[in-house]
Amino acid sequence: AQSVAQPEDQVNVAEGNPLTVKCTYSVSGNPYLFWYVQYPNRGLQFLLKYITGDNLVKGSYGFEAEFNKSQTSFHLKKPSALVSDSALYFCAVRALSSNTGKLIFGQGTTLQVKP
């Protein structure tokens, strides 16, 4: 069965410092991985994805993620955090069945960036 784990419920970081939000996955075969962000009272917004190719993926709002096959990880990173980055972040893996594009989400990590 496919699954995604986000080991931290909350990450706290000071504005201007680098941030990392961790994600590990469990799939058989090649994974298709995604990061989404949810601001309060809003829907999820797509940040970035890894399908194939370069292990370092760049996305929206200065975020990037590194795919590491040996560690089965897909950590989200940003070199310099902003207060406005404070939100709930979800890592997700796409189901491998060719018949569906459903996403399996991690539990989410709340990012708190303090001024």
Partner 1 sequence: DSGVTQTPKHLITATGQRVTLRCSPRSGDLSVYWYQQSLDQGLQFLIQYYNGEERAKGNILERFSAQQFPDLHSELNLSSLELGDSALYFCASSVAGGARWGEQFFGPGTRLTVL
| Binding region for partner 1 (CB under 8 A) | 32, 34, 36, 42-46, 49, 51, 90, 94-95, 97, 99-108
**Which sign, positive or negative, has the C-alpha torsion 31, 32, 33, 36?**
negative
Nearer to partner 1 by C-beta: 15 or 22?
A: 22
Q: Quick one: CA torsion of 98, 21, 43, 84, rounded to 10 degrees?
A: -150
Q: Please report how close the Cβ of residue 6 comes to partner 1 at its closest, in angstroms.
A: 10
Q: Please report how close the Cβ of residue 36 comes to partner 1 at its closest, in angstroms.
A: 8
Cβ pair 37, 88 in contact under 8 A:
yes
Q: Say how many CA atoms lie within 13 Å of 31 toward its Cβ.
A: 28
Nearer to partner 1 by C-beta: 17 or 46?
A: 46
Nearer to partner 1 by C-beta: 6 or 81?
A: 6
